[in-house]
Amino acid sequence: MKENKESKRMRFGRFSYLILAIIFLACVLMQIFTAGLAIFVNPANWVKHFSLVHLFGFNIPVLMLVMAILGKMPKWAFWQLFGLLAAIFAMYFTANITSALPLAGAVHPVIAVILFMLSYSNVFKTWKLISRRAKEEKKVEDSK
């Protein structure tokens, strides 16, 4: 019985982690989009760019950490989360240090690309982990 509860808890944690990773990836894309809106359409869109990051920036990765622990995710998931948090911190840093270090602002979009790649990789790896696990569980059930 305990193994069944633990399995359900792991499934819930991993599925929740995947959903949060997808939401985070979508938010990163929205950030890139709102930056484009502000640059190419209307500078008033910077408000959307600033506001959006405060909604998801550190909140979603912290929830992902909780779900990674709950779902007993592999070590790579924790390293990916560390990378996401480091990239977010670097984004805040480069956005706020530009008055003292103007070249740091030029690194900001480069970090955005890295953040997108990390986010996409996180979704892809988590999807593979969950689908592989589901196939293994199905084989076990079929053999019974």
In terms of residue numbers, what domain contains 106? 2-143
Q: For each of the chain's 144 residues, which pLDDT tens digit applies?
A: 456 777 899 999 999 999 999 999 999 999 999 999 999 999 999 999 989 988 898 899 999 999 999 999 999 999 999 999 999 999 999 999 988 998 888 999 999 999 999 999 999 999 999 998 777 776 666 666
Cβ neighbours of residue 32 closer than 8 Å, sequence gap 6 or more: 112, 116
Residue pointed to by tokens 């059930």: 141
Number of structural domains (the chain) is 1
- Whether the Cβ atoms of residue 54 and residue 75 lie closer than 8 Å to each other: no
DSSP-assigned letter for residue 45: G
